[in-house]
């Protein structure tokens, strides 16, 4: 061991000299007993300062049984730090709880100035150190697979048709080829309502809001009104020279859209075929929805236009031309007056939201796929969209953030048809793959939590005819 002659020598007993010479790591030296000397100070290779003069005692993080003596200029800083970590010091006679939780978040309730030691959350609100905690609500879980599948032979793969509707009396109407079938969601009973026969075909179906009468639009342009409970035809109305692909009820007034570019309004209380013709689209009308107060009618067409009409106008009061593809998907918000949503076709793929009170577009979201249908939940402020090229998916969105809650897949072709159950919890979707799929996606209006499947929603595949 080569020692620098300028360094003080270690006083090592002879009995330990061998072990010191064999140890290659000088940091592993054993701790030697210190021999006190009143006249001479002994130094070692490692300098360990004496902690008796350190000011670290002022940073003590535990309550000591005796007060800490604070020194000079550090007294103010020590008091500030202690107050930030432990809160105000208890007064005389106030006990300190031994079970106090020091680092637990709580909401900031004080409206006064915040401390320089405050902790800021992600939203910029001081969370502070203290008691109480606010947990974020866990996102709702939605099943990724349909809980019921019905075979629907001859369900057409045509973007411009509307062949599925769910009544307020819990009966599903489906147009298959030249026939309309009714499926009772409570009993799973299937009833053949009618067969148009010949060269005619079903292009649209729509229940009245009371759920008793069903309107059927045909490929010849006629509109038939049927009593769904008695399976009896009430009347037939004409007016369109070609197929009637979309229908919308407002009390006793029925609006119909056709390939002839026109919208007709029919009053079933009078004998005339129609009472008003609305001309504004330059191509086939494929989307129609009345607002919830029945004061405005929104229409979408293959001319990429979204038009809004009032009850008595023969000309649109609003024109929206931002979409770059056909507008079939239309939905009015049940939560905010004058809030309208629309979706564009393959060349557009966007959801757009409009304020019809001031003629402004509020938001635009690119979904990445052709938008075929929209339905706004009446239980929560969420909206569901169904899509075609090229994902064939179903998306659930939260409004107004438009954060995606769920993406559901299962159909192998475009999801062209959509209807909402009367309780607002379940949707049914239809596609050119000739299946109807039922999805439980919205919470109930009372519990705000997903409901369990009832008995008739048992897993399986049923043929609708």
Nearest Cα neighbor of 183 from 421, 386, 358, 444 is 421
Place of tokens 């954060």: 403
Joined together, the tokens standing for residue 226 give 């049927």
Q: For residue 145, what pLDDT is reported?
A: 94
Give 154: exposed, middle or buried? Use CB within 10 Å, 0-12, 13-18, 19+: middle
Q: For residue 198, what pLDDT is reported?
A: 84
By three-state DSSP, how is residue 457 classified?
helix
Q: For residue 311, what pLDDT is reported?
A: 84
Q: For residue 76, what pLDDT is reported?
A: 81
By three-state DSSP, how is residue 246 classified?
strand
Quickly list DSSP for 23-88. Answer: -S-GGGPPPPPP---SS-----SS----GGG-GGGGG--S--SSPPPP-GGGHHHHHHHHHHHH-S
Rounded to whole angstroms, the Cα distance separating 80 from 242 reads: 83
Query: Taking a C-beta distance cutoff of 8 angstroms, is the pair 348, 355 a contact?
Result: no
Calculate the alpha carbon distances from 29 to 18, 32, 47, 48 in Å. Answer: 12, 9, 14, 14
- Output DSSP code: residue 21: H
By three-state DSSP, how is residue 22 classified?
helix
By three-state DSSP, how is residue 7 classified?
coil
Q: What letters, b where the CB count within 10 A reaches 16 and e where it falls short, cover 29-57?
A: beeeeeeeeeeeeeeeeeeeeeeeeeeee
Q: Is 134 left (phi over 0), alpha (psi -120 to 50) or beta?
A: beta
Strand 276-279 and strand 285-290: the pairing is: unpaired
Joined together, the tokens standing for residue 457 give 């929603």
Q: For residue 88, what pLDDT is reported?
A: 64
Joined together, the tokens standing for residue 247 give 């229908």
For residue 308, what are the β-bridge partners? 298, 318
Joined together, the tokens standing for residue 157 give 């793969």
What does residue 279 show for φ and ψ, rounded to 5 degrees?
Answer: -115, 120
Angle of CA points 142, 465, 254, to nearest 5°: 75
Query: Taking a C-beta distance cutoff of 8 angstroms, is the pair 159, 388 a contact?
Result: yes
Q: For residue 106, what pLDDT is reported?
A: 35
Query: Taking a C-beta distance cutoff of 8 angstroms, is the pair 87, 117 a contact?
Result: no
Q: How many CB atoms lie within 10 A of CB 306?
A: 24
Rounded to whole angstroms, the Cα distance separating 201 from 203 reads: 6
Architecture of domain 148-463: 7 Propeller (2.130)
Calculate the alpha carbon distances from 207 to 141, 245, 249, 342, 391 in Å. Answer: 31, 15, 8, 22, 30
CA atoms within 13 A on the CB side of 43: 8
Rounded to whole angstroms, the Cα distance separating 3 from 190 reads: 103
Q: For residue 459, what pLDDT is reported?
A: 29
Edge to edge, the sheet with strand 213-218 lists 202-207, 213-218, 223-227, 232-237
Q: For residue 43, what pLDDT is reported?
A: 54
Tens digit of pLDDT at every position of the chain (465 positions): 444 444 444 454 444 444 434 444 444 444 444 555 554 555 555 555 555 544 444 444 444 444 444 445 577 878 777 777 776 665 544 444 444 443 333 343 334 444 333 333 333 333 333 334 445 566 688 999 999 999 999 999 999 999 999 999 999 999 999 999 999 999 999 999 999 988 899 999 999 999 999 999 999 999 999 999 999 999 999 999 999 999 999 989 999 999 999 999 999 999 999 999 999 999 999 999 999 999 999 999 999 999 999 988 889 999 999 999 999 999 999 999 999 999 999 999 999 999 999 999 999 999 999 999 999 999 999 999 999 998 999 999 999 999 999 999 999 999 999 999 999 999 999 999 999 999 999 999 865 444 343 332 232 344 555
232 Cβ partners below 8 Å, 6+ apart? 226
């Amino acid at each position: 061991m080569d020692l620098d002659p300028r360094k003080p020598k270690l006083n090592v007993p002879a009995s330990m000299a061998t072990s010191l010479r064999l140890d290659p790591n000088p940091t592993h030296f054993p701790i030697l007993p210190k021999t006190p000397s009143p006249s001479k100070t002994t130094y070692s290779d490692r300098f360990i300062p004496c902690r008796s003069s350190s000011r670290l005692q002022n940073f003590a993080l535990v309550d000591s049984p005796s007060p800490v003596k604070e020194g000079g200029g550090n007294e103010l800083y020590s008091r500030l730090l202690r107050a930030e970590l432990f809160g105000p010091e208890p007064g005389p006679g106030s006990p300190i709880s031994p079970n106090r939780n020091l680092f637990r978040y709580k909401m900031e309730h004080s409206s006064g100035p915040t401390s320089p030691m405050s902790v800021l959350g992600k939203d910029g609100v001081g969370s502070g150190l203290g008691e109480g905690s606010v947990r974020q609500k866990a996102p709702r879980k939605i099943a990724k697979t349909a809980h019921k599948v019905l075979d629907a032979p001859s369900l057409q793969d045509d973007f411009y048709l509307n062949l599925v509707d769910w009544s307020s009396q819990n009966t599903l109407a489906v147009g298959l080829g030249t026939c309309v079938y009714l499926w009772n969601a409570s009993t799973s009973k299937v009833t053949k309502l009618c067969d148009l026969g010949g060269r005619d075909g079903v292009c649209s179906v729509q229940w009245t809001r009371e759920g008793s009468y069903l309107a059927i639009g045909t490929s010849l342009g006629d509109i038939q009104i049927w009593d769904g409970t008695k399976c009896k035809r009430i009347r037939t109305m004409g007016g369109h020279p070609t197929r009637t692909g979309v229908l919308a009820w407002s009390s006793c007034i029925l609006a119909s859209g056709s390939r002839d570019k026109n919208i007709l309004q029919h009053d079933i209380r009078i004998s005339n075929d129609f009472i008003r013709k609305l001309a504004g689209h330059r191509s086939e009308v494929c989307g129609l929805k009345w607002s919830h107060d029945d004061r405005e009618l929104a229409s979408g067409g293959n001319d990429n236009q979204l038009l809004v009409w009032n009850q008595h106008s023969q000309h649109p009061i609003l024109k929206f031309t931002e979409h770059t593809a056909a507008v079939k998907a239309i939905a009015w918000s049940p939560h905010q007056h004058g809030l309208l949503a629309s979706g564009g076709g393959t060349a557009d793929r966007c959801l757009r939201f409009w304020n019809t009170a001031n003629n402004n577009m509020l938001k635009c979201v690119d979904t990445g796929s052709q938008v075929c249908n929209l339905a706004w939940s009446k239980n929560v402020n969420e909206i569901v969209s169904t899509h075609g090229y090229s994902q064939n998916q179903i998306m659930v969105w939260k409004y107004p953030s438009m954060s995606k809650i769920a993406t559901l897949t299962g159909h192998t072709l475009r999801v062209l048809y959509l209807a909402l159950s009367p309780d607002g919890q379940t949707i049914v979707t239809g596609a050119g793959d000739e299946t109807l799929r039922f999805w439980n996606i919205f919470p109930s209006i009372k519990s705000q939590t997903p409901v369990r499947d009832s008995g008739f929603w048992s897993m399986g595949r049923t043929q609708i005819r």
